[in-house]
Each structure stands twice: as C-alpha cells, then as structure tokens.
Amino acid sequence: MSEVELPIRHVSSARVVAVRGSDIEVRSDTVVGEEPMEIRVAGPGQDPVAVAVTMRTPGSEQELAVGFLRTEGLINGPEVRRVSFGNPGSLNRPDDTVIVHLSEPFDASRVAERHFVATASCGICGKASLDEVAVRCDPIPAGPVVSRKVVLALPDMLRAAQAVFATTGGLHAAGLFTVSGELVSIREDVGRHNALDKVIGEQVIAGRGPLNDLVLMVSGRVSFEIAQKAAVAGIPIICAVSAPSDLAIEAADRLGVTLVGFLRGDGFNVYAHDERIELRDLLRL
C-alpha cells in the first residue's frame, strides 16, 4: 500500500462565524489549500515549454505534472528522465513551477495545437473531441473481473484513506485498487482531475503502465475528462459515488472502460462494459 504523503501547505486555517440553529460561535476552521502550478516540459538541450497552469492543492506536484502530461497524451511515460522545480518569477514559491525533463525532444507545436486552459474544477475543457481521444488511446484489453463485494467496499476504503477530507471536507480523492480490493495509491486535490493525474503520475514515475489490472475509485462524479484520462492510462474500471455525464458514458463505451456510478450503500449502476463486474449470481435465468 502506498503511504499518503501530506504536503505542508495542504490546509490552512480561517476565522469563521458558525451558525447552528439558534447557536452562534466564532471559531477557527480548517480549510483546503489552493494555489496555482505551472507545468513545463523540456527535452535534451531544449528550453522548458509552458504547457498549462492549473489550480491545485499543494502536494505531489511532480506526480501531478507527469500524470497530466501522460493523460493528455503529450508523453508516453518512459521518456521522463527527471522532474524539477523552478521559479520564473511569475509565481511566488519554488514548487509552483514544475519542469518535466524528457530523454527525447519535445514537440512544442503540440501544446499550441491543443490550446490548454486548466482549472481545478473542470480540468482541460473543450479541447479534445472523443474521436481525438480514441486516436491517442491504446485499446483497453478484456478483463479483469472484479467481484460485487469488492466494488461495494471501495467507497469506505477510499474514505478511510482520505485523510485530509476528514479534516476539511473540501477535497476530491482518486484511489487505485487491485481487483481484490487492496489500495495501491490515493491522492487528494481540490480538483478531481488533479487527484486522478496525481495517482497516474505516481505510477508513471515508478515505471508502471499501462494500468490494465487496476480499478479507479473517485469521490465525486465522472465527467468526460475523468473517463478519457483513465482510458489513456489504460485503467479498465472506473467507480464513482456520484453520477456520470452522458459524454462520459459514451467515452467509456467507445474506449472499452467499465463505468460504475452511484456507488452507495449496497447498490450501484453499471453504465458501460458490465462484463468486468461479477454479476452472475444476480441473474435470473
């Protein structure tokens, strides 16, 4: 199991006036940290190219940068040589700029073509069609199959490992699990897409991929961005406590990803590729 590494600036405190019924209290409250981070890329002998600026919860910056580049199809993973921090002066802390150094040249024209605009809430919006994602996404192989018991247990296991949310109530989490329900990695962020990029980036930096034998559990809803990022990383199964969008369902169906939503209590909905969920004991022949 991966240890959850909490950043120094992941939370801060704020003065609040708390109203509860007819009671009022002035107290200090713990709130989620949010700061900008610029992602840059450089090949051998190249000056770093600015790719995107995203709002994120401080912590796991290297994983976020590598995961973002991988899930957006700008790198394959093995060419990552090292990741460093830099401060060009536009941002106020060294870890607010992350430079990913590659072992091969980086084509800067790919950034200009994609018109990246990143935010914590919605990821990279409106920049890619489903057809374009399918072109740069390797086919998801058949399997694995996960039991209904494991699927139902995922929300509690994710919440138990989601340390900062229990303190602030303001972070999304993304967790990678084995099909037997063992936690491989969990990361948190104010943005659901950032949390996913962080766990994927961790795997890329460790030299693992594609992630064809893992299950992704997310704490919020499933958007098109979540579905396409998981598919690009090779993740075959996505589970979520909330609803998927219609485009997320279409993407999962076309890209070969099993999509589970409304995973709460003793139930869930399977929106695409239900063959990876063990349901035979429920079928009435």
Contact 61, 37 (CB under 8 A): yes
User: What are 243's two structure tokens?
Assistant: 């609803």
Residue 257 tokens read as 């990803």
Token reading at 11: 């939370």
Kindly tell me the sign of the dihedral angle through the C-alpha atoms of 37, 101, 85, 92: negative
For 79, counting Cβ atoms within 10 Å of its Cβ (0-12 exposed, 13-18 middle, 19+ buried), the class is middle
Q: Residue 155: is the preceding peptide bond cis (ω within 30°)?
A: no
- For the record, the structure tokens of 209 come out as 């991929």
User: What are 37's strand-pairing partners?
Assistant: 54
HSE at residue 45, side-chain half, CA atoms within 13 A, is 2
d(CA 55, CA 190): 8
Report DSSP state, residue 222: B
Cα-flanking dihedrals φ and ψ of residue 280, to 5°? -60, -30
Give the rounded distance of the alpha carbon of 8 from its chain centre: 21
Per the annotation, the verdict on 137 as an active-site residue is no
Rounded Cα gap, residues 228 and 218, in angstroms: 14
Closest CA relative to residue 230, chosen from 206, 263, 258, 207: 258
Catalytic machinery residues: 122
